[in-house]
Amino acid sequence: MPSKRLVRHGARGSQQVHMNKVKFDPYRFKVNDQRLPPVVLAFMTSLCCRRCCDILQWKVDYGKYIPLERQRKCNCCQERTVTIAYHHICQRCATERARCAKCQKPPTLGNSTTGTENRGDDTNAEGNANADIREEEEEEEDEAAEAMSAGMPKGELSGKYVFVDQEDSDEEFWPLRGLDIRQLKQRKKELARLQEKDRVCRLRERERRTVLRGALRGPGAEEGADDSDEEI
């Protein structure tokens, strides 16, 4: 049985008739060490557009995601800095150029995996997307579209990454709208927390206790409260 639908006279064959009642679970009979680690699941869609996020999530849901064993060369800086599977440019280049780390294209708001009929022949600004990469993306989109038409609810695949198209409240991330910036936001919060911790450690002992006491009281504390050291 062929893996793809037959194409005759330039037209695709019929769709799959059978519709599964239970969603396929590729990790049902796998032990814990055969499952994808949480770190891979957290970083796999970092700085990817919504369409690529849907494709990568489909690969995970159906056991087709293969983690990257060693770093690969970035198509922009030509250095081995790509550490995430299926990504073609590194995180630094994707942030600087505001492009998807997988398809290397500027994010298009509202574009998801199911919109294969709206797929054009767009090329990236650097001109590095060769025929192999385009063919790989087309195959991934075809497989995802077949999965959608085979009985999977339409909103199940494309509704998980709706937040990617939403505008963030932080002006720093406005140029990256349309990309998955969860890891960047988490990294910024962690850096701010470390800076605040370092600032408190540099204060004198009495000032440090005052800052810690104010943090324990919360925003509703009285301004005229006693600043004695008896509470600590």
Residue-wise pLDDT tens digits, 166-218: 777 788 888 888 899 999 999 999 999 999 888 888 877 778 788 888 888 86
Distance from C-alpha of 186 to C-alpha of 192, rounded to nearest angstrom: 10
Please give the mean pLDDT across all residues of the chain. 76
The reported pLDDT for the residue numbered 125 is 42
111 or 62, which is more confident: 62
Of the segments 54-58, 122-126, 219-223, which one has the largest average pLDDT value? Answer: 54-58
Give the whole-angstrom CA distance, residue 130 versus residue 180.
24
Tokens of 163: 């937040």
pLDDT tens-digit map of 57-96: 999 988 899 999 999 999 999 999 999 999 999 999 999 9
d(CA 87, CA 72): 9
Helix, strand or coil, per DSSP, at residue 162? helix
All residues at 6 or more sequence positions from 124 whose CB lies less than 8 Å from its CB, including other chains = 99, 104, 105
Write the burial class of residue 45 (CB in 10 Å: 0-12 exposed, 13-18 middle, 19+ buried).
buried
- Helix residue ranges per DSSP H, the chain: 38-43, 50-61, 91-97, 131-149, 154-158, 182-202, 205-217
CA angle 216, 222, 227 (to 5 degrees): 65
Identify the CA nearest to 44 among candidates 80, 83, 79.
83
**Ramachandran angles phi, psi of 7, nearest 5°:** -115, 120
Residue 78 has a pLDDT of 93
Q: Is 150 helix (H, G, I), strand (E, B) or coil?
A: coil
